[in-house]
Each structure stands twice: as structure tokens, then as C-alpha cells.
Amino acid sequence: MMGRFLAFGEIMLRLSPPGRELLMQTPRFDVWVAGAEANVATQLARLGHDVGMASRVPDNDLGRAAIDTLRGHGVDVRHIQTGGERMGLYFVTSGAGLRATEVVYDRAWSSFAEAPTAAWDWDAMLAGVDRLHLSGITPALGPVPAETAIAAAEAASARGIALSFDGNWRGKLWARWDGDPRAILRRIVAHADLMFGNHRDIALLLGRDDFAGAGEDRRRAAAEAAFDAFPRLRTIASTARHVDQVDSNRLSARIDTRDGHAQTDEVLIAGIVDRIGGGDAFAAGVLHGLRSGQDSLGAARIGLALAALKHSLPGDAALFRQADIDAFVAGGLDVRR
């Protein structure tokens, strides 16, 4: 069963030096359309879901290019407003080996961040929608976007629309202003039935340092604490990443419910091309799996498949089809011809 999703958040452009060069080492940038929620919308659309993106971009060639790109992937762009002054940008210098990837944001005063809370017509945007998807990035952008994100969660809740929320911690954004992430994020998660996040996201929400235990025990303790704190929460999906080298990670996925948990095996991802957006691909995969009637383990496996596949693709968005998921699960890596 395909669903009617709406993703809400900032659409950005990402600029990266080609290859593994440092920022400004070369006079060139590769440019991609980005934004965590837009990445989720894009992957869901590529899998055939009915998915809309709600956002605001400037009425210039950058904003129009972003809209065209999303439309080209099959995302419904009716609720992308135009207005304001500037497109949010960010710069990624891809790491390799023992050099970590670096992000520089250049997104202050973007069209999206400057939109007043009253700019969003939730009646129109949520008409016919059965799941709204938000992330912790919008509330990190400043006091007005934080109010807007809370209003979005409340609007979905008031209409009986399911809410999914991806923690997506962005310390560099929260450090720019004096917002209290715990208080703000709690007001959003209170309305969510599905959360993407690990023990660190949950520790932040609950005002704790962390949870006792190691590995899977710690994750279960965190999930149970979150279920106690947020009565509407039914499902928590997370990945665990071991970074052996920047371009060689091991990844596994798990889904916790009130009744128990499902845990995938770990996959080795060597020769990483680009890991940015892996978490968004995971979220899209879990949403796709659950919507297709998979149980927790099946949904976690689809999430892991898309997250792992994303590491093979330059740019932020995962662009895979069902056949790619099936091939990943079947495990064959020979040339497909």
C-alpha cells in the first residue's frame, strides 16, 4: 500500500569540492539539492509513494532549480512556497581514510528560516496526508522555525495524522542561538508515533547523560525510557555505525517497539563514496517497509539496505528503486546484465 506523505523542512543546496579535495583547493564545486526532509521525500517518491514536500525557497534560479529537481524525482512540489531572500547553502568537504568529513553551514536568514510561523497553511498542506515527516533540523534553525516545527506537529496531531520525527542532531545550528533543544524537541516528539533516533537523541530528550549498559542493552534501556516518557510513541528506529575508517564503516539497524525489538546483522560498507544522507535513506526505507506491511525486522532491513546503498552515491539524496532493494537483499554484487 502506497501512502500519502508530507515532508516539511528546509531545502538546501550542497556544494562540495570534487573528489576528495579540500574546500577552495580547487576552483570548482559539485552542487546537489539537499535537506534531510527533502532527501526522505525524494527516496519515497522514487519508490512510488505519493509524497509532497512543504518548504520555502527564494524566487530565483537557485530556488527554481531545487523545485525542478524534486519534481523530476516525482515529489509533489505544490506546497513549496517562493519568497524571502536566500537559499540555504552548505559546504561539505568529503573526508577519506583518517580525515573526517567537514560541514560548513551558510544558511542563516534563508527563505525557509525567515518564514513567519503564520506563513504555513496547515489545513491546505495536510489535506489528504496520512503521515507528516519532520526532523530536528527545523527547530534548530532559530526561535521562529522552532515555533513552526511545534505548530506543524500540533497541526498533524489535531487532525489525527501520524507524525514521524528524525532526531538529526545538528550541534552547529543549536550553538547559534539560546534555544533549549530539550524543551523544544520534547514538544514535537510528544506528538510522534515513530521516531528515528538512538540512545543519544533519547538522552537529550530526557535530560540524561546516557543510559546504562553497552550496545544493545543501552539501546533497549533508552527505548523503554522514551516509551515511558512519550505515550504516543510506538516505534523507534535507529542505526549503529562503527567508523573503522572514514571510507569504511559497519552499519546495522534496529527497531524498538513497546513489545520488543528487531535487530539486523551488521553490514560492512567499504569504499564509501558519500555517507551524507545515509540516515535519511534509512528513514525512507523504514517508512517504506512499514507502509508496505513489513514487520519490524523487515522494515529495519529495508532501511539498512537503502542506508548502505546511499553510501555508494554522490550527493545527499538516495535515488533507489524497489529492484535495488531486492538486489541488495539477494546479495549479488556482480554486474547486473
Ligand X SMILES: Nc1ncnc2c1ncn2[C@@H]1O[C@H](COP(=O)(O)OP(=O)(O)OP(=O)(O)O)[C@@H](O)[C@H]1O
The reply to whether 56 sits near ligand KDG by the rule CB under 6 A is no
What does the binding site for ligand X look like in residue numbers (CB under 6 A)?
Answer: 167-169, 171, 197-198, 200-201, 204, 239, 241, 275-280
Closest distance of CB 140 from ligand KDG, Å: 8
Q: What are the contacts of 183-188 at 24+ separation with CB within 8 A?
A: 184/139, 184/146, 184/149, 184/150, 185/136, 185/139, 187/150, 187/153, 188/134, 188/136, 188/139, 188/149, 188/150, 188/153, 188/163
The reply to whether 316 sits near ligand KDG by the rule CB under 6 A is yes
Residue 113's Cβ-side half-sphere holds a number of Cα atoms within 13 Å equal to 19
Residues 6 or more apart whose CB falls under 8 angstroms from that of 196 comprise: 164, 165, 166, 167, 168, 236, 237, 238, 279, 282, 283, 286
The reply to whether 170 sits near ligand KDG by the rule CB under 6 A is yes
> Binding ligand KDG by CB under 6 A: which of 276, 284, 287, 306?
276
The reply to whether 12 sits near ligand KDG by the rule CB under 6 A is yes
Cα-Cα-Cα-Cα torsion 229, 157, 143, 179, nearest 10 degrees, comes to: 0
Of 170 and 220, which has the nearer Cβ to ligand KDG?
170
Q: What is the DSSP letter of 119?
A: G
Q: Are 162 and 290 a contacting pair, CB within 8 Å?
A: no
Distance of CA 63 to the CA centre of its chain: 20
Q: Binding partner of residue 186 among ligand KDG, ligand X, none, CB under 5 to 8 Å per kind?
A: none
CB-CB neighbours of 27 under 10 Å? 6
> Binding ligand KDG by CB under 6 A: which of 77, 137, 233, 255?
137
Of 284 and 294, which has the nearer Cβ to ligand KDG?
284
Closest distance of CB 277 from ligand X, Å: 5
Closest distance of CB 217 from ligand KDG, Å: 28
The reply to whether 279 sits near ligand KDG by the rule CB under 6 A is yes
The reply to whether 35 sits near ligand KDG by the rule CB under 6 A is yes
Closest distance of CB 40 from ligand X, Å: 10
The reply to whether 17 sits near ligand KDG by the rule CB under 6 A is no
Q: Which residues bind ligand KDG (CB under 6 A)?
A: 12, 34-36, 39, 90, 137, 170, 276-277, 279-280, 316
